[in-house]
Amino acid sequence: MECVVQGIIETKHVEALEILLQGLCGVHRESLRVHELCLKSVPNLGLVSSEVRLLCDLEQPEPTWTVRHIGGAMRGAGAEQISVLVRTMAESKVSKNALRLFYALGYKLDHELLRVGFSFLFQRGAQITVTVSSVNKMLKLHATDEAVPVTPGIQLVEVTSPASSENYNEVVAAVSSFCEYLAPLLHLSKPGVSTGVVPTAAAAAASLMSDGGGTAL
């Protein structure tokens, strides 16, 4: 399982967000360049249709591949109340033949995208990963060099943390308390619940870029 929240931020404030994250996490940022291929099963494959994502990390000198399956979100009254989406997620490193394997299994490429940005990985109550990336689409198949942004001027911020059915409450608490620190710059919510950009972002970014940025605390 994983806990996840998302938000968007204007590209012009990303630098400020990076400073803030740097301070909050204490770790160095990691560059991010991921080619994401979303594969869907053809109708007669399996009992229900399934969707897997193949992630190719282009940041490494040698691209590494990961397959990820995102399952259904936790439902019910308890899940409604928390501000973080808890969903099942399984992922595994795979060899570079994975795409061929899935094609052979009967999956079809649904869409592909390229995420470019940075991430912070740190320990804070839970293992939290903050990813700030711009999502790009490819005009030609697999042409990652000619990708164009899907939403120019807007970047996606995603906070995820692995969890299990035993500890997800603590993880949710850790994630949501972390999200509060980002509040002046961006608002994070469950995926699918769009909250838009935060009106205070410009002021918060300006104060981060100029002074000690104390407003965040």
Partner 1 sequence: MAGDLEISLDKLPIKRLDAIEENGLERFPTDVGYDEKRVNLIRRIDFAWALEREDPSKKQKSEGASAKEGATSSQQQWQWQSLVENLQLAHQELSVIIDLINTVEANDAVTVAGMTRPKQLPYEHLSDLSVSTATKLQCFRNLGKYFKQSSKALEEQIAREARFYGALIRLQQNWKIKRHRLVAAASGNEGFYIDLFDNSLYDLASVFRPSSMSTIPIEHDAAGMLTVNLPRKSCQSLQFEFLGLNSAYNLRKSGETRMQEVSSDSSRVHGKENATDEERVTEIHLTLREVHRAIHDEQVFDLVNREACNPSLRVNLTGIKENYLRLSIGEGSSVSLTLASSGQDDQPIVASDRNTVETSNDTSEKSGVSRQLGFEIYLRQLFHEYVFVRAKSKAIPLLKSQIPGQPPKDKSNILGHFCMSLAHRIFSNKVLSVLENLVHRTPYVQLISHPTWHSRTSSWTLSVKIPESILHAAIQIQTPGVGNVKAIRSQFWTKVVVIDDSISVQGEGAPNVLSLFKGKSEGVSSINGYDCDLADLPIILLQQVASQIIQWLHEEALTIGIKANRDFLSLAFELEQGEIARLVAHVDPEDAQGCISWWLTIDDGLTEEHKLRSDMSYFESQSRKFLGYLPLDLLHSTLLDFLNLCSY
Binding interface with partner 1 (CB under 8 A): 15, 18-20, 22-28, 30, 60-62, 119, 121-124, 127, 181, 206-217
Whole-angstrom CA distances from 68 to 17, 81, 98, 114 are 27, 27, 11, 15
- Based on CB atoms, which residue is closest to partner 1, 193 or 209? 209
Q: Which is nearer to partner 1, 48 or 217 (CB)?
A: 217
Rounded to whole angstroms, the Cα distance separating 3 from 164 reads 9
Buried b (16+ CB within 10 A) or exposed e, 128-165: bbbbbbbbbebeeeeebeebeeeeeebbbbbbbbbbee
Smallest distance, partner 1 to C-beta of residue 126, A = 11
Q: How far is the CB of 48 from partner 1 (least distance, A)?
A: 34
How far apart are CB 165 and partner 1 at their closest, in Å? 23
> Cβ closer to partner 1: 40 or 68?
68
State which residue, 22 or 194, has the beta carbon closest to partner 1: 22
CA distance 40 to 25: 36
Distance of closest approach, residue 213 Cβ to partner 1, in angstroms = 6
